[in-house]
Amino acid sequence: MGINPLVLAVCVLSAFRTVTAETVTELEFVRSPATVISSLGKPVRMTCSLQGRGGDPPDVLWLRDGRPLELADTNQNQIPLDTDSWMVYSTLRIEKVRLPDMGSYRCAVQSEGHNTMSKPGNIQLEGLPHFSVEPHHMSVVANVSIQLQCVAHGPPEPVRVIWLRDGAPLNTLKESVALSPSTLNLTGLNRTSTFSCEAHNNKGVATSGSGTITVLPSAPQRLRVEESTQTSLTVSWLPGFGGDYPIIRCSVQAKHSGEPDSDPGDLVHNQNVHIPPASHRIDGLEPHSLYSVRVACHSSQGPSAWSPWLDMKTKEGVPDSAPVNVSATLNGTEVLVQWEEPAGKLNGDLQGYMLEYSTPNTEKTVMDTGLNTELSLNLSTPLSNMTFRVCAYTRAGQGPWTPMDTLILVTPGLSSPPAFSWHWWYVVMAIAGVVAMAVLMAVYVAKLRRKETRFGEAFEPMMESGELVVRYRARRTYSRRTTEATLNSLGISDELKQKLQDVMVDRHKLTLGKTLGEGEFGSVMEGLLTQEESVLKVAVKTMKIAICTRSEMEDFLREAACMKEFDHPNVMRLLGVCLQTVESEGYPSPVVILPYMKHGDLHSYLLYSRLGDTPVYLPSQMLVKFMTDIARGMEYLSNKNFIHRDLAARNCMLNENMNVCVADFGLSKKIYNGDYYRQGRISKMPVKWIAIESLADRVYTTKSDVWSFGVTMWEIATRGQTPYPGVENSEIYDYLRQGNRLKQPPDCLDSIYSLMFSCWLLSPKDRPSFEDLRWELEKALDDLPDAQDPDEILYVNMDETSSEQGAVGGRDPVAAGGGGGGGGGGGGAPLGLKGLDSVTTVEVHHHNRYVLCPQHEPVRGLADSLESLDMAVSSSAATLPFQTLCRPTATPPTQASTPTLELLEDREMRGPRKLPWE
């Protein structure tokens, strides 16, 4: 590139060393920097040679794009050629070349005000494309056009881009949109999707980061008032379009008109409404008041924008209070009645006052005084006392009346009290005497018929067959002295003791059995609870009191007191609390009595169904039902403002009806220790289940429980696998901060994984609520077909001959491997478990026979280990590879497929060795 000598002189003048000794002449660069083509991160070296005569050689300065490299790593060597001439070699070294290092390089010297420069040489970098602009996460309104941009650079150029939507390519390299910078125009997006780019050049392919475009509903429209009363407003609206996601609820907010909407505390109404219908009545409003109302609707992906505030007014009401300072003054035969306006709210426009008065000689009269606050009444003679009261009224009606007041105009004469009558006194005394005698006789007869013993009561005067018969009824006594003393000895608060009084169980009614599970801090035991007419089998959770502090024991009891408020089929309920005496400790040990769960905790059940001695086939319908049961229980807990903080499959129990109950509300950390990690001095936390904001700030909300629910769904989908395999507990936080999440299980439905992935969004407010999760899971469960009997599945081995090459990151082509020759000839290779290709399944129908060929899966080399363990393989484990020919046919199998059928018969005889393919 050309450089202005004046500009160059200004830039490098201070960097050159002025030559003051013997004059240097005949300066010439005999070797200029060469053009270097390299790759990122590799070392680069450039050299130039300067020849001259005279005194000391000047310093050689390196320039990049005309600017001096003052901090560059350079080396200068001087070699004399003869007595008066010399040669200077200057070398520029770059250990790891980077993109900013690209440009035009020159060598330059200055002597006696004259600049000498070499010819330019360039550094060019070639390698995989790099991105300067890539897709990012964003939210858009459904069916609205958007543009996405992806910019990738070489060298080498050109760089072409392939757009991917949910992993599927949207264009080819030959289309015009592929040339970088590339802009993808989407005319309308109705489903939440993840977009990414692949950049191609002559050196290879690079993949950009992924950006999820969340589709939200459009704002509601046509908000209007359907009905207005004095204390309520009924509004209706038209929900916006939510794309592929139906509107499940709307939020209605109301405030006093004119007030700012920044503070949620200023709202007079804020409520979620299930739709349809798209209407809602706002109650508890003030009469004759102006309110502003707005609506936003929610889909499973999130909320829409709010509709504009709409002003609405309630109808008028009657005054809250009566007029005050009511008085009456007599002036001759006229009475002047006066009052003042009510002190309370009028709830409307004041229309006037009503005055009601009466005398002993006249009927009750009501007069409308209008807005006047006094009225003169002309009374007829002779004067008599007058009673009166006043009320105010609006268009809605009359308000409350004042208390009835009396103006005394005539003073009645004094009269002597009536004389005392002894006649009625005698009558009262006689009646009282008769009643007292009757009571005494009844008590005496009862004493004769009853004998009190220390064992109970015996009634005696009965003769049967000539013999005296004593009928005995045991005395029912109950004393809470022992319970109260025991609770007092624990040193817990009075509030907690009061909560535990009605759930305490006599320790003599509880019989402990075998231990079901034991950990470092406690155990779960089987027990029998004696009730009034039956004996109930229960589970008893205990604490090892010797290693637990008093505060931990109080937390144990406080969590039990909290459980007594729960009443939901998918939430573990509390049967009672019992205090077992521990002689060595000097104070009792609390135990919690819970319903007995036949199948134990869900994690163990899933694990044994896959790896146990007798594996159990769990269809997808049952797994989704497990997720739905947990979502229902957590929705109930979240509605009661309860945060679980430790939701996991190990803390969910499975009863005899295969229903899942959410359990262990903070108690599991006392029993299970393997899944918890202690950060510094803080208590142990289940870091692989806990939300990322809880790991960072120890802040727990309902949305942190939603994160844990997503991990629990992943546990269920993988049938008990441990989350984040290969990642240490201490590395989880950094792993999540880098954007990593749990991968989709091999046989997990896309809709189910999309739902669990939404639970792991970085922002808690973007995650769905448990109500949304329950609704989506119930819908997914209804959409699933009926569970298929595993005995109706036939397994046929197939050899795929080709596999289609997908986008970058897809599967590699797999050769047939000679399977066709073996199958066609009837001989084939010996049937075995090593070095084989693939396995698939078919469904057998009564009229025709179909072979269903799924996409190729990489062979997992677990055959030898499964043979040695004699262990069944579920859909989430590796498949057993067999080598044979896949031929769809409606005729019986030929001799070529005999080895496969023999192996199938052998596998059926061995029982559980089945590979269900859903």
For 560, 569, 898, the CA distances from 782, given in Å and listed in that order, are: 36, 20, 40
CA distance linking residue 187 with residue 146, whole number of Å: 7
Strands 397-398 and 405-407: unpaired
Does residue 68 have a cis bond before it (omega within 30 degrees)?
no
CA distance linking residue 840 with residue 884, whole number of Å: 11
CA distance linking residue 748 with residue 755, whole number of Å: 11
Q: What is the phi-psi region of residue 66: left when phi exceeds 0, alpha when psi lies from -120 to 50, beta otherwise? A: left
Catalytic residue (one of 601, 629, 646, 675):
646
CA distance linking residue 104 with residue 43, whole number of Å: 17
CA distance linking residue 15 with residue 449, whole number of Å: 128
For 383-396, letters b (16+ CB in 10 Å) and e give: beebebbbbbbbeb
CA distance linking residue 424 with residue 426, whole number of Å: 5
CA distance linking residue 91 with residue 136, whole number of Å: 44
Angle (CA) 909 913 916, round 5°: 120
Is residue 836 within 8 A of residue 580, CB to CB? The reply is: no
Is residue 731 within 8 A of residue 687, CB to CB? The reply is: no
Work out the number of other CB atoms within 10 angstroms of the CB of residue 455.
Answer: 9
- Please name every residue paired with 205 in a beta bridge, in sequence order, or none if there are none: 200
Q: Which two tokens stand for residue 422?
A: 């002894």
Tokens 């309902």 sit at which residue?
A: 702
Q: Which two tokens stand for residue 691?
A: 């939300």
- 111 by DSSP, 3-state: which? strand
Is residue 691 within 8 A of residue 703, CB to CB? The reply is: yes
CA distance linking residue 598 with residue 581, whole number of Å: 28
CA pseudo-torsion sign 7, 12, 18, 22 = negative
Burial (CB count <10 Å: 0-12, 13-18, 19+), residue 229: middle
Q: Which long-range contacts (CB under 8 A, 24 or more apart) does 514-521 make?
A: 516/600, 517/671, 518/671, 519/670, 519/671, 519/672, 519/673, 520/544, 520/547, 520/671, 520/673, 521/547, 521/548, 521/670, 521/671, 521/673
For 393, 417, 792, 843, 890, the CA distances from 846, given in Å and listed in that order, are: 84, 110, 11, 10, 11
Strands 182-186 and 193-201: unpaired
Burial (CB count <10 Å: 0-12, 13-18, 19+), residue 440: exposed
CA-wise closest residue to 768 among 644, 634, 666, 642: 634
Q: Which two tokens stand for residue 445?
A: 């007869």
Q: Which two tokens stand for residue 37?
A: 């083509």
CA distance linking residue 220 with residue 627, whole number of Å: 32
| Backbone φ and ψ of 902, nearest 5° | -65, -40
Strand spans (E) along 465-509: 467-474
Q: Which two tokens stand for residue 741?
A: 């999440």
Q: Is 73 a catalytic residue?
A: no
Q: Which two tokens stand for residue 655?
A: 């009863």
Is residue 150 within 8 A of residue 161, CB to CB? The reply is: yes
| Backbone φ and ψ of 112, nearest 5° | 50, 45
Active site residues: 646
